[in-house]
Structures are given as structure tokens and as C-alpha cells.
Structure 1
Amino acid sequence: MQGFTGFLTSFFSFSVVASVSYGQVQTDGWLQKLAAGNQNSIFQEVIQHPDTYRLQVIYTQIDRDKNNTPSFRNYYFHVDSTEYFNPASTVKLPLALLSLEKLNRMQNPNVTKFTAMQFDSAYSKQTKEWRDETSETGYPSIAHFIKKAFLVSDNDAYSRMYEFVGQGEINRSLHEKGYLDTRITHRFVRMTADENRHTNPVRFIQPDGKLIYAQPAAFNTVPFDFRRVARLGKGYMTGNDSLVHEPFNFTERNKLPLESLQQILQSVLFPESVSPKQRFSLTNDDYRFLYQYLSQYPGETNYPKYDAKQYYDSYVKFFFMDSLHHQMPEGVRVFNKVGWAYGFLTDVSYVVDFTNKVEYMLTATVYVNSDGILNDDKYDFDSIGRPFMYQLGQTIYQYELKRKRKYVPNLSAFKLSYETQKKDGRPTIKDVDN
């Protein structure tokens, strides 16, 4: 692994990660007691009915020793690795890491995350993408896809990274790293299972259009294990707005258990805290790039230039997304990835408060679909889901502000320089497909 050698390795040379028992519900009484202290009615409604809301929470305390080396302790609330939840856009996190890893494995000095690339079409439903006017160069690139996927959770960016890495390599790589119960089977566009097994030809080009490297179309021949059936709800709407009176079948959809999601983010932020096989082969520059765009706000970014009013600071920061105030607390940055679809809201976060010298991880998923109908766009995101996630986030954040630490953490590794959006006359981007 090429990690934060020199600059960060001394910080991450030791950790204690709580062992996980798969296949059984895990709830720590201490976390349950902490949650009981928040009497917000929406929060308590979800906390007291975790089965109804398919709630799972992992709260990770981080403590440093005298050498600033972090150790980790996980607390669980209703966590069950076998209970399906739809990961939605959280799968964009491993896709970004696998895309960077694949570039590094190519060992072509002319092909980097910033190199212009183009996508052709070679199979049913595939689409071309030769230009991207939201980027500074006017071309797509892995770096630009990662920005869009992290800043506003752009769907096309995910689909293109899926096409670059390939379905077979995505799943093989995650399983080799020990994330065994994961699967990523599809783009975020309407395609059949067969069409998702086929991925586009891709080429990297110089600014003048000259070819650097061409990757042929690919087809994944490896079968998936779909023996564990996952069906939810009492009905669903079809593409032509017909109601089917039977549960929606998620059996062949993307799957990313909460514990795996938490470990993937931890492997990026604290690579030395996980086993070597769980890490992604990233360079120092990759880490810094990821840290920036996991925590930068859309309104700070120049390319793409997002509308800061629509894509406000806490837009993809569920644990700090207050319906009344969209600004983050002074001195706080959240390094995270969220997802929302089919009534599920999920967030995997590392929270840093530079002012109060606080750090912790919080990962949660909740299902809010009171009518039991999938695909009808009538979910309880605004009335229950987001208010719950905000209350959960504030419960942990307020506790962390008061939690005693033997050693004050040195958080300088995560203190980054962010962009300032230029007022250059370019129109801002609104209404992204996410």
C-alpha cells in the first residue's frame, strides 16, 4: 500500500477495533441509555421502534495516546449485518477508491486521476460521454467524477466509475479486501442485469485529443450469490406507474452492510488502523484529494460550480442537516458519504471539531416509508428521516463535546485548504440527478 507514509503513518500505527459478530443483532446498553436522554418526539419514535424503521447505528469513539496514535471503540445500536438496507449513493465511496486504485495499478505516468477520458458505447443501453462542460478542461476525468459524487452525490459520476472499474473487478476487489458480504451489481440508470454486466470502452486522451490508452469493453462472467432473499414493503410502482401488490425485490440490488461501510471509510481516513488487506492502494496525493472532497462544501467548489443556495453546506451532511439552518457549526468539518433512495437514509461520517478538539465516527441507516409502497416517491424523508438523523447526530456531537479525553488530539492532518468559488460569470449548476 502507498499510504500517508511519513506525514501520517506515525499517527495511525496502532488501533483497537471492536470485534464484530456477524448474523446477530448488536445493541450496546450504554448507547441505548445515551439515546434515551434525547426526548425529541421524532427521535424517540424511531429509537423505540428500530425494527419498523430498520434502524442501525454505529458510533465510534476515537482516543489518542501521548504520541497522537488513535484507538477506536465501536458502540452498536440494532446492528445486524444480515438485515438488508439499500445503500443507495454510499456505494459511490468504494467506487471512488477502486477507481483511484485501478489508476495506480496501471502504472502509466501519462494516466492520472486528472487525465481526460472518454466513454464510448458498445452494448445495449450504453451511452457515450466525450465532454463534460462542468470541468475545467471540458473533459471527464476520474478526479472530476469523484468531486461530483462526493459534493452533491451525482449519479452519472458513479455510473462512469462503475464502467471504468468494471462489475467483475469491483466485486472481486472488495471481496479480496475482506468486505465479503458486499455486492455492487448495477449503474444508477435503468438497465437489465445482463446490461449491467457489460461495461463501456474507455479511453484516456491528451488535451489535443491524441490517444494515450484505450480500455476495451468488458463483460463480467462471474455469477453472484443471490440465495439470501431481500424483499421489502407491501407493494411497488412500476416504470409505467402501475401498482404491484407484492414486496419489492432487492435480492439482486447493491448491498453494502453498515459495518463494511464504516470500515471502508475508516480505512481511508486511518489506513494504518485496519488490516493491510482492507486498505486501498492509494498515493499520498490520493488521500489528500479524497479528504478535501469528502469534506468540502458544494458552494466552495469552482469546478463543478454548484448553486450554493440549492446545494448548501449541510446538503450531504445528514447529522448536521437542520431543516431551519443549513450552515455547519463553526470549526466543524464532516468527512462523509450519504445515500438516500427507496425510503432509506444512510450516512457514514468522520466528524472533526477543530475548535473544541473533538473527533469521532458515526454511521447510521434508517428506513422511512410509512405507506409501505416502494418507488412511489412518497417517502418520509422530510418528516421523519432527516429530522431523526439530525437528532442522532446532535446527540452524539453534544456528548462528544463533553467527553473527557486523557490526551488532546492533534487534528492537523485533517486541517485542509478549501477552495473559494469564483464569481467569473459562469452559471451555477442546479438540479443534479442524484
Structure 2
Amino acid sequence: MLTGHLNPTSSFLDTLLSSHAAKLGPVFNDPSRYRLQIIYTRIDRDAGNRPHFTDYYYRTDTGSYFYPASTVKLPATALALEKLNDLNIPGLNRNTPMFTDSLPGISPAVLTDSSAANGLPSIAQYIKKILLVSDNDAFNRLYEFIGQETFNKRLWEQGYSSTQIRHRVGVTGITPEQNRYTNAISFRQNGTEIYHQPVAHSNLEFSSRHDLMGRSYYNDKEELVNSPMDASKKNRIPLADLHGILRSIIFPESVTKSKRFRLNDSDYHFLYYCMSAQPEESSHPVYDTTEFHHNYVKFLLFGGETNNHITANIRSFNKPGWAYGFLTDIAYIADFSNKVEFMLSATVYVNEDGVLNDKHYQFQETGEPFMKALGEVIYEYELQRKRQHTPDLSRFIINYDKSIH
């Protein structure tokens, strides 16, 4: 596992970005202040359409902490599907109704899901909600199914040794010890129980950390604490790990078996659909597109803009996260008209006053415009870049009018 600063293959990315400094604005002009990190992967296909990768890093430092927020949900979707495959129980699949018992004081029960066609919760429905609109509760249910111990051990086995997934997201007042407990879960079909998972407790030993965020923060009692927030027991995934996880999902054949999730073609196709679809293209769940608009979770290149319909022929297969002033997006972007593809990941900190939990972050004013500009710089470079072999991207072309289960 790489630690510390990741050196660029050359100064290419630095030179390219510097030539567009005016377009990239204040974030690029003061990258230290905004804790900017970028990874760009150029993809070149050979005559057999096999992808070859060249990675370029800008200020990427595995030792520099940023709060990963909802980006932790991407490995959860893959690990939940992997666990179903590992269980290998007849009748148990991503669409099997899944019923979660309550854990008093920690997590409520889930017995129904009004967003599903059949009104019942399932792994598939949770994955859709995670990737279409970054639903927090959906992630928490997958976290409980996977289990804290398995979640971390599998990522460590794949080489992501600096990663720590320690808690549910979007809930307050739960201690680190309580987050070690996961609910009892039953999968039932037509009244017959197919699989039961009892309450579990993780005994995992995490390596110690000293991660801090912000200058001050409001605690759970809404009291201002005039010191940095201790993030040492919060979730952690370096940008290089997130980028690697994305590559292992989009290009599983390009990574070693040890770094691959144990998924089948149907799993990958389902993930590609959910990662690239827009909220308005979903029939179950149906979303209010006033809130969950076209680019609700699309930041790189699309800028999270309500009316930024670039073209239906460009898709971002991505997973973003935003919280505490940290905005992160990891994306594989494909232009099916111009036969262009690349991977791009970036994180930026937009919290001018340094106060956490005051809800005064500059996501829309600063973070999202930068993500859009960065995506445009790389995309425009890729449009004019000469390729020896035109990529066949048909694997990623999806019929969004057809509901995928």
C-alpha cells in the first residue's frame, strides 16, 4: 500500500492544470488552503480493446485526512453483492426481500420499503437508492448486512490498508462501540425464510490515528467547541483507495484477482446501471426531480447543476460524497459519441470559517464549480488526444428505459 505523497508519472497533469488556472479558479490557485487532491487516469486501448492505464497525481497524499462522507457507500454496494455470492444459497439474491430487526438505541427495524415495486426492502433496492441519490439509510442497511469486521477485512485484503470503515452515516449520538453492533437480518420469500443473520459484534482492531478536522465545531448538543474535531474514529478512505476501488469495479479484468470483488457479469451490469442513471430515469424508486434533479450526484464535469444537460451520450459512472465541507467525487466518464473515456477523482475542502456542523459550507459557490471546471479541462484534453485504437465502449451502453433488477 502506498503511503505519503504519490508522485506523478510526470509533470503532465500539473502542466495541464496550470495552463487552465484561470478556468479552475480559486481552488487551484490556493490548493493547500482547499486541501485539493486529484487523480486522473488516462486509458488507452490495445488492438484487442484491452485497457491500459496511466495514472497522474496532483497533491495526492494518503496521509492527509479528508472526511470521505458518502464515497464509503461505493465499496458497500460491491461488498453486499459479493456477500450474496459467497453465501451461495438457492433463492437468495439481490432482489430477495430483506427484513432488518431493530437494535434498541442504535438502529430501527425495516420491514417495508414504499419505494420498491413490491413494497419490500432488498439489497438491490438499497443499492439503487445509494447510487441514484446517495441515500444514507440505504448504506446503513448494507453496513449492517456486511458487518463492520467483514467490511474492513475485505478492503484490507484488497490492499486498501489505510482504509477504516467504522460507522453508519447520517446518524448522530451513536458511539464507536455501538457501531460495532449490526442488526439481525432475515431474507424471506413468500413466507419462507431463506437466510437468517443474527446480531453481530465486530472485534476488529483498528490501527490508531490522529486525524483532526476544522478549527472548531458544534457538538451533538449544539454547543460550540473551540478546538478541532477529532476524526480519529470516523470513516477514512484515501483518494487513491477510492480511485482503486472504482477501477476494480469498472475494469475488474485489469486488476489482480486479490483486488477484485467476487462479482458476476449481472452484478457489474447492475452497478453500471445504478452508477450512471439519473434520478428521473428511475421508476422504482420514483424521485421528486425538483430536489433530486438531473445532476444531483454528478459533480465532475456536470457541476451538480440542475439544468446542465451536456448530452445524453456522456455518462458519469461515479460516487460522490459531501459533508463537513469536504466535497469528493470519483468517476469513470464515457462519451459514447466521441469514443472518449477516462477516470477522474478529486477532493476539495470548502469551509471558509473552519467551523464544522454550522452548515456554512461553500459546496455550491466554490466546490461544485471547481469540480465542473476540472472535469471540463480533462474532458476537453481527452477530446483532442490522439489514440492509436478507438475504444469499444459497448459494455457500458445501457438502456435506461428498461428497469434493471
Q: Same fold (TM over 0.5)?
A: yes
What CA deviation, in whole Å up to 9, does each residue of 1:396-429 have, x standing for no partner? 11111111111111111111111369xxxxxxxx
Say how many residue pairs are matched: 399
Task: Give, in angstroms, the shift of residue 322 of structure 1.
Answer: 5.8
Pairing 1:234–2:211 present: no
- Partner Cα separation in structure 2 for residue 322 and residue 112 of structure 1: 33
For residue 118 of structure 2, the aligned residue among 137, 146, 159 is 137
Q: Is the 8 A contact 1:299 1:305 kept in 2?
A: yes
Q: Which amino acid aligns with 1:304?
A: P
- Partner Cα separation in structure 2 for residue 167 and residue 279 of structure 1: 19
Task: Give, in angstroms, the shift of residue 25 of structure 1.
Answer: 5.2
- Partner Cα separation in structure 2 for residue 412 and residue 93 of structure 1: 23
Q: 1:285–1:412: structure 2 CA closer, same or farther, 3 Å change rule? A: same
Query: Which residue of 2 is the match for residue 394 of structure 1?
Result: 376
Query: Which residue of 1 is the match for residue 233 of structure 2?
Result: 252
Greater mean alpha carbon deviation, residues 183-192 or residues 140-149:
183-192
Task: Give, in angstroms, the shift of residue 342 of structure 1.
Answer: 0.5
Q: Which amino acid aligns with 2:271?
A: L
Q: 1:89–1:241: structure 2 CA closer, same or farther, 3 Å change rule? A: same
Aligned positions of 1:1-40 closer than 5 A: 21-24=2-5, 26-27=7-8, 28-40=10-22
Greater mean alpha carbon deviation, residues 22-31 or residues 368-377:
22-31
Greater mean alpha carbon deviation, residues 121-130 or residues 187-196:
121-130
For residue 252 of structure 2, the aligned residue among 268, 271, 274 is 271
For residue 26 of structure 2, the aligned residue among 36, 45, 51 is 45
- Partner Cα separation in structure 1 for residue 64 and residue 6 of structure 2: 9
Task: Give, in angstroms, the shift of residue 39 of structure 1.
Answer: 4.2
Query: Which residue of 2 is the match for residue 338 of structure 1?
Result: 320
Task: Give, in angstroms, the shift of residue 24 of structure 1.
Answer: 2.3
| 2:248 match: secondary structure | helix
Pairing 1:196–2:179 present: yes
Q: Is the 8 A contact 1:203 1:213 kept in 2?
A: yes
Task: Give, in angstroms, the shift of residue 326 of structure 1.
Answer: 2.7
What CA deviation, in whole Å up to 9, does each residue of 1:132-186 have, x standing for no partner? 0100111110000000000000000000000001111111111111111101000
Unaligned runs of 5+ in 1: 1-19, 422-434
- Partner Cα separation in structure 1 for residue 185 and residue 22 of structure 2: 51
Q: Is the 8 A contact 2:295 2:305 kept in 1?
A: no
Task: Give, in angstroms, the shift of residue 278 of structure 1.
Answer: 0.4
Q: Is the 8 A contact 2:101 2:109 kept in 1?
A: yes
What CA deviation, in whole Å up to 9, does each residue of 1:51-79 have, x standing for no partner? 11111000000001111111000111000
Query: Which residue of 2 is the match for residue 84 of structure 1?
Result: 65
Aligned positions of 1:216-365 closer than 5 A: 216-226=198-208, 228-319=209-300, 320-321=302-303, 323=305, 325-365=307-347
Unaligned runs of 5+ in 2: none
Task: Give, in angstroms, the shift of residue 49 of structure 1.
Answer: 1.7
For residue 93 of structure 1, the aligned residue among 66, 70, 74 is 74
Task: Give, in angstroms, the shift of residue 194 of structure 1.
Answer: 1.1
Pairing 1:167–2:148 present: yes
TM-score (norm 1): 0.89
| 1:348 match: secondary structure | strand
- Partner Cα separation in structure 2 for residue 217 and residue 324 of structure 1: 42
Query: Which residue of 2 is the match for residue 370 of structure 1?
Result: 352
Q: Is the 8 A contact 2:144 2:183 kept in 1?
A: yes
Task: Give, in angstroms, the shift of residue 213 of structure 1.
Answer: 1.5
Query: Which residue of 2 is the match for residue 428 of structure 1?
Result: none
Q: Is the 8 A contact 1:81 1:258 kept in 2?
A: yes
Identity of aligned residues (%): 45
| 2:342 match: secondary structure | strand
Task: Give, in angstroms, the shift of residue 370 of structure 1.
Answer: 0.7
For residue 383 of structure 1, the aligned residue among 349, 361, 365 is 365
Q: Is the 8 A contact 1:313 1:328 kept in 2?
A: no
